[in-house]
Amino acid sequence: MNLNINFTLLAPEILLTVLAFVVIIMGLLISNKSKNMLGYISAAGILASIVYIVGNGMIANVSYFYDSIVVDPLSQIFKLIFLIVSLMAVIASIEYFKDNHNQDEYYALILMSTVGMMVVASANDLIALFVGFELASMSTYVLAGFEKKNPASLEAALKYFIIGSLSSALMLFGMSLIYGITSTTNIPGIIEFFKTAPLMAESSLGLLAMVFLVAGFGFKMALVPFHMWAPDTYEGSPSVISSLLAAGSKKMGFVAAFRVLVLALFAIRADVQFVFAILAIITMTYGNIVALSQRSIKRMLAYSSIAQAGYIALAFVVMTPMSIAGGIVLALGHALMKGGAFIAVAVVGYMVLSDNKNAKNIDDLDNFAGLGKRAPITALGFFVFFLALAGIPPSAGFIGKLLLFYSITVEAISLSSSWLLLIVVIAILNSALSIYYYARVIKYMYVLPPKGEKIKEPAAYVVAILIAIVGTIGIGLYPEPFINMATNAAQVVLGV
């Protein structure tokens, strides 16, 4: 337990926290008209953090604050995910909220939620983990309801808030049980304790703690059966916030599960892997099947996001370095694809509202007819994101799925286990199934005739979508550095 006073590696968190306060204070001082600049400032701060993390510490391994915060490859790659998502969300918000007078609160909340997610990524102590979770959740509750006059947005926020609080309570209860068993909140300490006293983990108390933790993280990850809030929330929230929620805050559950569950609990109880296999299979199948019948694109994206969480959860099934690396690459890819797709929905909303100010159901499939002609860049974005989500090469979605399925197959062969092979087959069939609902939207965009004139796509949206397109295809074309980063992170997860 050393007190490390060299905080340079925490500079991004510090920068963003300070920036959040600066944005709020500036909001008080400047006129409503010039509040647009706050978006640019926030984007610049996030961009600086990304550059800093990439430049300075992808492979660092330092701990701070009496070992409650660590900076290691696992935390860094997830921070990168969160930062990229919030960068896209902020850039798109510059357009989305340009006429809103409360932009100062809005950007401050986005920055705070980003800091919360980053704390979760770095947390090495259950308390720090919980604080990070709450910081991110509280901020996003408000963000989800930020369109105050839109009942759907309020409903989304309320549902998200109630279920989110419940999941926080469950998680906290699980943590208190763990503390009761091990008398420490330090994660490596917990692991150490369970290793020396494996019987405690097998006790009914240990089992109960694990169930609560799985449920708590499961709510964040939106795994079936903890998913009910996700479609309503993603559908009702402002599209840019849906992008932040689906692409970013969902990954908090995964990084927490990687850090806490994998070592502390799974290492001792092998049958938990089986539980996660079932959860993953049910989640992806449910998500894909329900997505088939959706006409609201945001709902379809929400269910597809549930399905993707199912794929990522496959990483917990075999827990080899490669499977966890695959899960992380898919999480990174999903952040780009889903984040980009929700922002592209925002463009469609902009387009529909500029046709008709009082339009309802702006994300209805019918509004996508002829999008390829009306908004070519947005349509291209959807095309890339959807094919990537379906796992078509060369894309980040493809590489992530490939690594996951591949690693499970290798494990199945080396253990000659037929149920693992069965899981791969089900997952592949799921991918094939998902092509249907993605291809349907693509058909609407490119084959059906347009319903209106070509629009000028706002520059902010275009920039955000292009970031996501370049990232999605870039990882697909040149995956090796990302696989290496994810493999480094996976070694942290497995304690190698």
Q: If 0-12 CB within 10 Å is exposed, 13-18 middle and 19+ buried, where does residue 347 land?
A: buried
Q: How far is the CB of 426 from another protein (least distance, A)?
A: 14
Q: Which is nearer to another protein, 221 or 427 (CB)?
A: 427
Residues contacting 281, CB < 8 A, separation 6+: 310, 423, 426, 427
Q: Which is nearer to another protein, 168 or 431 (CB)?
A: 431
User: Binding to another protein by residue 418, rule CB under 8 A?
Assistant: no
User: Which one of 198, 225, 393, 495 is in contact with another protein (CB under 8 A)?
Assistant: 393
User: Binding to another protein by residue 399, rule CB under 8 A?
Assistant: yes
User: Binding to another protein by residue 470, rule CB under 8 A?
Assistant: no
User: Which one of 18, 278, 292, 432 is in contact with another protein (CB under 8 A)?
Assistant: 432
| DSSP-derived secondary structure for 280-337 | HHHHHHHHHHHHHT--BHHHHHHHHHHHHHHHHHTHHHH--HHHHHHHHHHHHHHHHH
User: Which one of 24, 208, 402, 455 is in contact with another protein (CB under 8 A)?
Assistant: 402
For 123, the 3-state DSSP assignment is: strand
User: Binding to another protein by residue 403, rule CB under 8 A?
Assistant: yes
Q: How far is the CB of 450 from another protein (least distance, A)?
A: 12
| In the block, residue with structure tokens 């009496």 | 66
The interface with another protein within residues 312-331 (CB under 8 A) comprises: 322
Q: Which is nearer to another protein, 272 or 369 (CB)?
A: 369
Other Cβ atoms closer than 10 A to 143: 27
User: Binding to another protein by residue 292, rule CB under 8 A?
Assistant: no
State the binding string over 436-455 for another protein (x if CB under 8 A, else -): ---x---x--xx--------
For 110, the 3-state DSSP assignment is: helix
Residues contacting 18, CB < 8 A, separation 6+: none
- H or E element at residue 62: strand 62-64
Q: How many residues form the binding site for another protein (CB under 8 A)?
A: 22
CB 386 within 8 A of CB 341: yes
Angstrom distance (rounded) from CA 57 to CA 77? 10
Q: Which is nearer to another protein, 287 or 370 (CB)?
A: 370
Looking at residue 366, what DSSP letter applies? G
CB 319 within 8 A of CB 262: yes
Q: How far is the CB of 384 from another protein (least distance, A)?
A: 12
User: Binding to another protein by residue 248, rule CB under 8 A?
Assistant: no
Q: Which is nearer to another protein, 306 or 412 (CB)?
A: 412
Site residues (vs another protein, CB under 8 A): 322, 392-394, 399, 402-403, 406, 409-410, 413, 428, 432, 435, 439, 443, 446-447, 479-480, 483, 487
